[in-house]
Structures are given as C-alpha cells and as structure tokens.
Amino acid sequence: VQLQACGGGLVQPGGSLRLSCATSERTLSMGWFRQAPGKEREFVAAISRGGGSTEYADSVKGRFTISRDNAKYTSDLQMDSLKAEDTAVYYCAASSFGLTTTIQSRYPYWGQGTEVTVSS
C-alpha cells in the first residue's frame, strides 16, 4: 500500500488546515501521526475501516476531525483552532487492524509526511 499526504503549510494561530492522504488501494483503519522538532512521533487521530469509529489524542480532541472516503481511497484530517504546539510533520498511515488503534507498530504503511507550521 502506498500513501501520499498533502495539504501542509504555514498558518496563523487560530487558523485551519486540511490534510489529505491518498492511498493506492482500500485500507483497514487509518491514522494520522505527527512529529514535532526534537520530539518523538505521536498519535493524532485514527478512523476505523468503515469510518464509523474515530479516536483522537487528548491534545487535539474537539479541534481536529478525521474522515475517510473509501470510494476515493482517501483520508482527511481537518485541523481547526490551530496552535503553535501543533507545528510538526504530519504523517498518514494505514494499519493492519480494522478498528482504530493508537499504536504505531500496528501501522505497517506510512506516507512521506507533510509539514505544518503554526506561527504568526
């Protein structure tokens, strides 16, 4: 499975960005992770195979929304009310599970990352 993420960029605090991830084939659950400079990569959000179940990190709950379109083989991450601490390289990933999972080792397929900078 190949994944391609896009949509990153520079945005002011309080602004919004929408990240998109295109996959080469239908996948099981999908997730978004991020890695800030000098920090380890962390879980952001996940969505189940059918899209009926989602899971979020506490730090983004209520501000980020994950979605997927299985007909188009895509997953999006809508990011609202962005903060400086959301600055990171964001990665989409496809897991080997049908249900959502926050565990990185359960994601064998990864995209190349797209950079998000939140700054005034």
* pLDDT single digits (tens) 92-107: 999 998 899 999 999 9
The 10s digit of each residue's pLDDT in 17-41 is 999 999 999 999 999 999 999 999 9
Quote the strand ranges of 1-120, DSSP E.
3-6, 9-11, 17-23, 30-35, 42-47, 54-56, 64-69, 74-79, 88-94, 109-110, 114-118
Q: In terms of C-beta density within 10 A (0-12 exposed, 13-18 middle, 19 or more buried), how is residue 5 classed?
A: buried
pLDDT number for residue 4: 96
pLDDT number for residue 110: 97
Please give the average per-residue pLDDT across 51-73, as a whole number. 97
pLDDT number for residue 97: 87
Residue 105 near residue 60, CB atoms below 8 Å: no
Please give the average per-residue pLDDT across 53-62, as a whole number. 98
